[in-house]
């Protein structure tokens, strides 16, 4: 089966416009925000927009569709109000995913503010339990690894596994692996041994079937920097050779790819998608 490649696409002008933009770029998968990711307000979508999105998804054969959650969501928040609002927002994100027929919702599991990370992960687990009590959804939830910045609680595979192991059955489908985040957290994509080690960790702690999405990004900062700064494909510190090794590694070669590379103009998406396709072809 041809590898599914896409980008994070704007929903400006209507959520259905994201699929038209993805089609124009010859994408076979796509990631979107369902609303403004820097606000708590979620706009109501009308029936015409919903039907058009579903129709275009089928017509263009764009799948899976991934919805990335709001930047404000923090399931590990110690503040009760933020914790409650994050849970409410996650319920809405899951409901929106089902309304539009999206296959997955991608979530950063949370951030610890001046406390031990394990306690924060426990709060994330409790939040996931409360979310599961609010409904059941066809869409699956994917937990994304982080870059190891201050407060991050899931920059290592074993830390994500700790949450998934305790999460209620049926809610979390697996993980989204971000290459920039992993590299910044100390996984060395520039070397074959580093890629092998990452594959081994995923296999041991999660199982290969739990890897459902790759956010493919180069890194502006060096390996192990603990800083989340995405870069254009082949222009960062992972580089073309490292990304090529990763893309062609047997463990990772069949997983859908979404690019979250920098974008100043529409030409940036074209160039990054072209670079990825060239790396895959070898």
> Residue 186's pLDDT is what?
97
> Residue 202's pLDDT is what?
98
> Residue 2's pLDDT is what?
84
Separation of alpha carbons 33 and 116, rounded Å: 30
> Residue 45's pLDDT is what?
86
Separation of alpha carbons 70 and 86, rounded Å: 9
Count of beta carbons in the 10 Å neighbourhood of residue 53: 24
3-state secondary structure the chain: CCCCEEEECCCCCCCCHHHHHHHHCCCCCEEEECCCCCCCCCCCCCHHHHHHHHHHHHHHCCCCEEEECCCCCCCCCCCHHHHHHHHHHHHHHHHHHHHHCCCEEEEECCECCCCCHHHHHHHHHHHHHHHHCCCCCCCEEEEECCCCCCCECCCCHHHHHHHHHHCCCCCEEEEEEEHHHHHHCCCCCCCHHHHHHHHHHHHHHCCHHHEEEEEECEECCCCCCCCCCEECCCCCCCHHHHHHHHHHCCCCCCCCEEECCCCCCHHHHHHHHHHHHHHHHC
> Residue 61's pLDDT is what?
97
> Residue 114's pLDDT is what?
78
Contact 140, 105 (CB under 8 A): yes
pLDDT in tens, the chain (282 residues): 589 999 999 999 999 999 999 999 999 999 999 999 988 988 888 899 999 999 999 999 999 999 999 999 999 999 999 999 999 999 999 999 999 999 999 999 899 977 899 999 999 999 999 999 999 999 999 999 999 999 999 999 999 999 999 999 999 999 999 999 999 999 998 899 999 999 999 999 999 999 999 999 999 999 999 999 999 999 999 999 999 999 999 999 999 999 999 999 999 999 999 999 999 997
> Residue 113's pLDDT is what?
78
Report pTM: 0.97
């Amino acid at each position: 089966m041809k590898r599914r490649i896409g980008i994070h696409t704007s929903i400006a002008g209507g959520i259905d416009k994201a699929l038209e933009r993805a089609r124009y770029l010859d994408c076979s998968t796509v990631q979107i925000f369902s609303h403004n990711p820097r606000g708590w307000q979620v706009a109501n979508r009308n029936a015409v927009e919903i039907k058009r999105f579903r129709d275009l998804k089928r017509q263009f054969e764009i799948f899976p569709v991934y919805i990335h959650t709001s930047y404000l969501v923090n399931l590990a928040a110690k503040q009760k109000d933020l914790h409650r609002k994050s849970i409410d927002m996650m319920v809405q994100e899951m409901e929106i995913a089902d309304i539009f027929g999206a296959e997955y919702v991608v979530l950063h599991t949370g951030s610890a503010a001046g406390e031990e990370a394990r306690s924060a992960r426990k709060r994330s687990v409790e939040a996931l339990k409360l979310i599961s009590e609010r409904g059941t959804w066809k869409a699956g939830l994917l937990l994304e690894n982080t870059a190891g910045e201050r407060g991050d609680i899931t920059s290592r595979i074993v830390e994500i596994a700790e949450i998934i192991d305790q999460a209620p059955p049926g809610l979390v489908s697996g993980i989204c692996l971000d290459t920039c985040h992993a590299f910044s957290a100390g996984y060395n994509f520039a070397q074959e041994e580093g890629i092998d080690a990452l594959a081994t960790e995923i296999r041991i702690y999660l199982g290969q079937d739990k890897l459902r999405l790759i956010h493919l990004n180069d890194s502006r900062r060096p390996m192990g920097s603990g800083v989340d700064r995405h870069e254009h494909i082949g222009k960062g510190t992972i580089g073309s050779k490292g990304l090529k090794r990763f893309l062609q590694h047997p463990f990772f070669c069949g997983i859908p790819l979404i690019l979250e590379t920098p974008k100043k103009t529409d030409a940036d998406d074209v160039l990054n998608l072209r670079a990825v396709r060239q790396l895959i072809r070898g």
